[in-house]
Structure 1
Amino acid sequence: MEDGSVHRLVLISGVNGYIAAVTAKQFLDNGYSVRGTVRKLSSAQPLIEGPLKSHAQSGHFTVVEVPDITVDGAFDEAVKGVTAIAHMASPVSFNFTDPVPILHAAIHGTKTLLTSAYTHAGPTLKTIVLISSIAAIRNQTPAPYTFSETDWNDYAESEVQRLGTDTPGPVIYSASKTASEKAFWEFRDTVHPSFTMTAINPVFVIGPPLIAPATPAAVGETVQSIWDVFRGAAPAASPVVLSSTVDVRDVARLMVYPVEHAQATDGERYIASSATQHPQAIADILRKAMPEARGRIEEGTPGVGYREDWQADGKNGYAVDNRKAGRLLGGWIPFDESVVDTAKSFVGLV
């Protein structure tokens, strides 16, 4: 940390979420205190009584209830005394059917937090980091094309306006992330706050959750491809929603970085992307690393359909430029390590 202090207080909204929980642990393990927000206090009990128990007992991990993040003043109390904020509370699903409440939560949740931070956090607040998404970057530029932090999604919001409740779930999600991040930067450009502001834009996030899923139904959408192969589905039958992936622990490291390097990252976006997933690669990795599951995991066609370095083969004409964030981290967690660690969280489900 820049000033060498310990237990500076970070507010993490939606702390019980998949990425947010891992981010909370990353901050705590690096000497910060964390105040998390949840809609209901009961939803944080698995963290308090589980992997973050020692931090809770020491008082360095606390949780407050914010029932509705879109209500004006919702975060007024939560932001007091914090030195940094990681805004991570936002609807996440590819199966949304009604865009209205999703966009409302994404946009107004961001606006209310920023307003509370500006008016109630006080001079201790140094930086706010937003978890955005590659969905706010990917657009319909014809292939071949490499997406970078300068790109913006230029179609999802208009599609929502055109199609309403007929809008496909992934497009609704993309529109919500785009609108949320636009609101984030609009606030910065309009208000010119004293605190710095940074956005992290992950691709499909894989890697081990802080709390293993208790049932198959609890398996997260972004690790569904790994779960499908692990439970015995044929690799050829396991769909990949998005091929670009990044480990959740790398995303957590990226969320911490702007807090420790506020001025250097002010006003910046960072794409978090490290590998390209393929169901056959997942099968090959797991059959080698977990011989006890080999009889269940379908063999498929070993070695076919992916590169050994887990990078994009360029066949679809699109790529993602991950160099900007990669320079901050000094390297990414290898894809095979992410796959194996994710699968270990499924062991009790089959």
Structure 2
Amino acid sequence: MALSPSNGKTVLVTGINGFIGSTIGLLVLSKGYTLRGTTRRLESVRSLLEGPFKPYADRVAIFEIADMTAADAYKDAVSGVHGIFHVASPVAFDLCTWDQVVEPAVQGTLSLLESAHRHAGGQLRSVVVTSSGTTVVTPAEDAPPGYVFTENDQNTWAVPLAKSVPAEFPKSNIGPLMYSASKVAAEQAMWQFRQDRRPSFAISSVHPSVVLGPSLNLPRNPQDLNVSLKPIYDIYSGTESTYPPPIGTASFVDVRDVAAVHLWALQHPEVADGERYIASSGFAPTQGMVDVMREQFPPNSRTAPGEPGKGYVEGIDYCDRRVPVWYPKDRIQMCGTKAHKVMQIRWRTLAETIQDTVLAFQEFYGQKAGQSKGETDP
């Protein structure tokens, strides 16, 4: 298949080696853009450069930025670009202090925006910042049963709690708390920058729920998969027979749809400027993922059945389709209606996402999960 010719425009993706960043990178390359990416370590991008990005080698440049919080850290990377996707942010639940998590997220965002404002040039039309669904939700126990969170909702609890964590606060929850606070504080800093500096380029934000889907940059050891993909691998491989609770609201979105929302926002600055967009496809409770997977891959007896059908109902999704796995009436959810209507995006269903994720695992780790790539069955 012939590659798309260059469209003459250059975009920057920070955190290009990450799950979302790499997917955005491949999407923009396929649309004819020249890609610049940033990473803390060049080695982390090698598999992308030698794999999915290789056909576009003449349109890819990678910048190593060890400290994204430093003044003018992005000066060279932003110079002359037409659009920026700011995806890079600390995501490590074992980091548990404000200085380790929140401060770098805020300063990294401000460093990128300031560099864009001062050094990018007048051709820059749009900056799209990857935020998180956690910036719009409140804890489940504080929300009315069945509440539907939209872009109008704000997380007002994470930052004050992270600034003064009570002694009795569960230690296992401190990492996720700091992550939530980092996303909230970084978004607040972004909107304050827009208000104070009045840049010539549009600024918008994308707020994904739990991101699933096929990764372009899988780790060699599946035990090192990120927090959203590891449960899917464990279910398929039979690594776990007792399934963990879902993450947050159990709302999910396919990483490819997250990339599509980012690109639309960048390409429509006159509409997207100042807007927040939730990226959320629907409901992905652990049991729902198990049931979908066992239906799609029936020969795989390693996947324990759990309690089929428990914890979800059939329903109508944000694209007005009847789907077999949906929120019970008392379950809170993140609403993907705005992006669907404004962008005409067709959210991928849970079945599509699970199938493509498992196929990616099979291709990379072996036809049977748990089997290393290159091994054969006895």
TM-score interval for Structure 1 and Structure 2 normalised by the shorter chain:
over 0.9
| TM-aligned CA distance change 1:315 to 1:32, over 3 Å | same
| Cα distance change, pair 38–255 in 1 and its aligned pair in 2 (3 A) | same
Per the alignment, residue 256 of structure 2 pairs with: 249
Q: Cα distance 1:279–1:208, how it changes in 2: closer, same or farther (>3 A)?
A: same
Deviation at 1:288, TM superposition (A): 2.0
The answer for the alignment partner of 2:77 in structure 1 is: 78
Amino acid paired to 2:66: P
Identity %: 35
Instruction: Give the match's secondary structure for 1:237.
Output: coil
> Residue 84 of structure 1 contacts residue 128 of structure 1 at CA under 8 Å; is this kept in 2?
yes
- Report whether the alignment pairs 1:153 with 2:155: yes
In 1, the alpha carbon distance for the partners of 2:40 and 2:6 equals 31
The aligned counterpart of 1:60 is 59
Give the counterpart of 2:307 among 301, 309, 318.
Answer: 301
Paired with 1:108 and 1:98, the residues of 2 have a C-alpha distance of 15
Superposed, 1:1-350 pairs within 5 Å as 6-56=7-57, 59-140=58-139, 141-144=142-145, 145-163=147-165, 168-232=174-238, 237-242=243-248, 243-293=250-300, 295-308=301-314, 309=323, 310-316=325-331, 318-327=332-341, 328-347=343-362, 348=365, 349-350=369-370
Q: Deviations over 1:209-251 (max 9, x none)?
A: 0133321222111122212211215665332123000000000
The separation in 1 between residues aligned to 2:135 and 2:188, in whole angstroms, is 9
C-alpha contact 2:17 2:217 (8 A) present in aligned 1? no
Alpha-carbon distance between aligned partners in 1 of 2:183 and 2:86, rounded to the nearest angstrom: 12
> Aligned-pair distance for 1:322?
1.5
Shift of residue 345, structure 1, vs aligned partner: 2.5
TM-score by length of structure 2 reads 0.86
CA distance change for structure 1 residues 257 and 164 in 2, over 3 Å: closer, same or farther?
Answer: farther
CA contact (8 A) 2:86 2:130 kept: yes
SS at match of 1:345: helix
Answer yes or no: is the 8 Å Cα contact 2:98–2:163 preserved in 1.
no
Q: How big is the shift at 1:14?
A: 0.8
User: Could you give the per-residue CA deviations for residues 115-154 of structure 1, whole angstroms, max 9, x where no partner exists?
Assistant: 1000000111110000000111112553132211111110
**Is the 8 Å Cα contact of residues 253 and 329 (structure 1) preserved in structure 2?**
no
Q: 1:238 and 1:164 mapped to 2: Cα distance?
A: 26
Aligned residue for 2:313, secondary structure, equals: coil
Q: Is the 8 A contact 1:110 1:184 kept in 2?
A: yes
Measure the CA separation in 1 of the matches of 2:27 and 2:126: 17
Matched AA of 2:72: G
Secondary structure of 2:326's match?
coil
Structure 1 residue runs of 4 or more that deviate by more than 4 Å after TM superposition: 164-167, 233-236
Paired residue secondary structure (2:305): coil
Q: State the superposition RMSD in angstroms.
A: 1.9
One-letter identity of the residue aligned with 1:149 = E
Could you state the TM-score of these two structures normalised by the residue count of structure 1? Answer: 0.93
**Native 8 Å contact 1:133 1:202 kept in 2:** yes
After TM superposition, give the deviation of residue 183 of structure 1 in Å: 0.7
Task: Please give the alpha-carbon distance, in whole angstroms, between the structure 1 residues aligned to 2:18 and 2:295.
Answer: 31
> Which whole-Å CA distance do the structure 1 matches of 2:265 and 2:6 have between them?
16
Q: Which amino acid aligns with 1:324?
A: K
Secondary structure, aligned partner of 1:296: coil
Q: Residues 82-104 of structure 1, C-alpha deviation per residue, up to 9 Å, x if partnerless?
A: 00000001011334322312112
Question: How many positions carry a matched residue from both structures?
Answer: 343
CA deviation after TM superposition for structure 1 residue 198, in Å:
0.6
SS at match of 1:163: coil
For structure 1, which segment, 303-312 or 244-253, has the greater mean C-alpha deviation from structure 2 after superposition?
303-312
